[in-house]
């Protein structure tokens, strides 16, 4: 049962995703990241591709599977950006 769309998520979701946009080479990668990220943040107990795509309107198993397994992107770059964002938030709160 599909429960939500990317556009129905709070504005902070898109704002957070945009902080990673320069790391993606194609629009498909940007969209794949958004579906995957939304799936990770979703309420489903199981965080597998099938469950994620069951909960997000517009997503498909094939798209997220391709994003994770075949799209070329640098894991280290994504993780470094994630840590940078977390550190900035921590400094702003202190």
Residue 53 included in any domain: yes
Residue 59 included in any domain: yes
The residue range of the domain holding 54 is 6-93
Q: What is the pTM of this model?
A: 0.87
Residue 1 included in any domain: no
Residue 77 included in any domain: yes
For residue range 9-48, what is the model confidence (pLDDT) as tens digits?
A: 999 999 999 999 999 999 999 999 999 999 998 888 889 9
Residue 52 included in any domain: yes
Residue 15 included in any domain: yes
Cα-Cα-Cα-Cα dihedral sign, residues 13, 81, 29, 19: positive
For residue range 53-76, what is the model confidence (pLDDT) as tens digits?
A: 888 889 999 999 999 999 888 899
Domain total of the chain: 1
40-46, Cβ contacts within 8 angstroms, sequence gap of 24 or more:
41/13, 42/3, 42/4
Residue 89 included in any domain: yes
Residue 48 included in any domain: yes
């Amino acid at each position: 049962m599909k429960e939500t769309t990317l556009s129905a998520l709070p504005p902070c979701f898109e704002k957070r995703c945009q902080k990673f946009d320069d790391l993606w080479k194609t629009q498909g990668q940007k969209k794949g990241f958004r579906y995957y990220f939304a799936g990770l943040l979703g309420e489903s107990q199981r965080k597998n591709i099938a469950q994620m795509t069951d909960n997000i309107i517009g997503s498909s198993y094939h798209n997220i599977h391709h994003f994770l397994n075949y799209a070329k992107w640098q894991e280290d770059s994504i993780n470094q950006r994630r840590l940078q964002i977390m550190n900035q938030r921590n400094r702003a709160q202190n």
